[in-house]
Structure 1
Amino acid sequence: MDKEKVEQLKIQMQQWLNEAEEFINHIPPVQLYTAVGVVLFTLILLLIKTKSIIQNNNSNNYTIPSVIPQVKPGKVRLFKRTTSNTIILTGLSGSGKTYLFYQLRDGSAHQGTVTSMEPNEDSFILHSEKDKKGKLKLVHIVDVPGHSRLRPKLDEFLPQAAGVVFVVDSVEFLPNFRPASEYLYEILTKASVVKKKVPVLLLCNKVDKVTAHTAEFIRKQLEKEIDKLRTSRTAVSDADISNEYTLGVPGEPFAFSQCHNSIIIAEASGLTGEISQLEKFIRENVKP
């Protein structure tokens, strides 16, 4: 570069410096000091964060890779999403939830009927899968007491549920279908179920009995009763209703197919150990 070009460059730089100085002189002192303070504060935070990362890496004997791995578009996640392995067994007292719990865990019904006053809760590999090879994911099963005074326990577990199993006594269904409908209605209108679209298995238990009602009959009766419930409860003022969401399509008879979440109808016998449909539901929602 010749001397003439160097001299022109010096003159141009001097002009820029003069313009910058004039610009700064026109900025009120308060704004100028604030801007400088923000810059310094940001630099201090960056230094602290960098020091913390280096210390953590050193303590974990972690070597920072020299090449940053490429991330495909659409695959970037700020937080790793965890998958729940909790399945909730619920329903009226005497529906056979505890029998089903022990069949899933131990492969036996544990003779005798005891009304649960506290949730039966355990994490285990399904008994039917214990001989399978390969890695199997533990299932966290919670048997929630069905007594009306103990139902608030359900709210403690619903936010973490991967699926809900609502157990119905197929033999004693008709004497209990109204309270069963009310309890199921409460579950299907809870925000923790609707927002997360938690799948619900309507499990008709005790089908081994000759006097058991069919799953189709139970489905129709529950839909009719829930239709009456949603009509009566929407007529009450908002201050008096406890449900968080409404069900169905306005002007149409209620059907489980109208729910935001999946409602599946199945049969089982906790006493004889015929629980294949229940196990299928669990494994569809808690992957191995």
Structure 2
Amino acid sequence: MEKLEDLKILAEQWLHQGIEFVQQVPQTPLYASIVVLLLTTIWFLSIRLFRRAKPNTVLLCGLSGSGKTVLFYQLRDGSSHQGAVTSMEPNEDTFVLHTENTKRGKTKPVHLVDVPGHSRLKSKLEEYLPRAAAIVFVVDALEFLPNCRAASEYLYDVLTNASVVKNKVPVLLCCNKTDKVTAHTKEFIRKQMEKEIEKLRVSRSVISAADITNDFTLGIEGELFSFSHCLNKVTVAEASGLTGETDQVQDFIREYVKP
């Protein structure tokens, strides 16, 4: 994102210098044609540079134990790496999605970051949010109810982050471990988290003047909260890292990090 901003500033400087040049040179058809050609070239080069600078970082975030790391390895290697230990540092790599390795033609690599879910490491997530092209928020569908409140608070903080709102970063609410018979459905999880976020929205609006952890508020005044109220797109999907059922996650990633 910083490189993109630098390119924008440089392009603006070029255009400004070009305008000054137009004002200084003799107003003849020849000079005018040269300047128009120069400015047009700069414009098209700037557009191409901006397109190349589009972010390809996708964040996997959520509470510890939700299965983020298993999903990370499934997307990268097609293996669950069940022996992996939850890390206190982000687990990241740039790669072509495992299921795309056998496809012909060029496929754009994805920079995937598995952010630790421990509350003490929240600052790690905030470092990556400004660079995110998309966010996969992972929820444990098997042990959902005991963690519903904590997961909703975490998601609330993500959805009210300045970078997420301003850049309209799309979020996938990924209900993981749905291969288990006792796992909750994505519809149930969505509704319960909307209810919890509504409670948070109301309680935090009362103390908004003292609430310095969030940059924006959620929802529409006078209406119960729904993910459809968010300025950025929020969708819900099911997955299972252990069994490799990650199609919906991959489709989401490829929607925002084009091949």
TM-score, normalised to structure 1, is 0.74
Q: CA deviation at 1:241?
A: 3.9
SS of 1:240's equivalent in the other structure is coil
Q: Say whether residues 1:131 and 2:131 are aligned partners.
A: no
SS of 1:142's equivalent in the other structure is strand
SS of 1:84's equivalent in the other structure is coil
Q: Say whether residues 1:94 and 2:65 are aligned partners.
A: yes
SS of 2:197's equivalent in the other structure is helix
Name the counterpart of 1:114.
Answer: 85
Q: Unmatched 5+ residue regions in structure 2?
A: 1-16, 22-33
Task: Read off the aligned partner of 1:200 and give its amino acid letter.
Answer: V
The CA distance in 1 between the partners of 2:91 and 2:104, in whole Å, is 28
The CA distance in 2 between the partners of 1:247 and 1:267, in whole Å, is 24
The CA distance in 1 between the partners of 2:211 and 2:257, in whole Å, is 37
Q: Say whether residues 1:223 and 2:179 are aligned partners.
A: no
Name the counterpart of 2:127.
Answer: 156
Superposed CA offset, 1:129-172 (max 9, x none): 00000011110000000010012100111101000000000000
TM-score, normalised to structure 2, is 0.82
Superposed CA offset, 1:78-117 (max 9, x none): 5631211000000000000000000000000012252221
Specify which of 159, 164, 169 is matched with residue 198 of structure 1.
Answer: 169
Contact 1:233 1:241 in 2 (8 A): no
RMSD: 2.3
Name the counterpart of 1:168.
Answer: 139
Contact 1:168 1:204 in 2 (8 A): yes
The 4+ residue runs of structure 1 with deviation greater than 2 A are 67-72, 75-80
Larger Rg: 1
Summarize the alignment of residues 1-288 of structure 1 with structure 2, pairs less than 5 Å apart.
68=37, 71=40, 78=46, 80-81=49-50, 82-288=53-259
The CA distance in 2 between the partners of 1:235 and 1:151, in whole Å, is 24
Contact 1:91 1:97 in 2 (8 A): yes
Report sequence identity in percent: 65
The CA distance in 1 between the partners of 2:211 and 2:96, in whole Å, is 43
Cα gap change, 1:157 to 1:218, in 2 (>3 Å): same
Number of equivalenced pairs: 224
SS of 1:151's equivalent in the other structure is helix
Cα gap change, 1:70 to 1:154, in 2 (>3 Å): closer
Q: Unmatched 5+ residue regions in structure 1?
A: 1-41, 47-64
The CA distance in 2 between the partners of 1:267 and 1:241, in whole Å, is 33
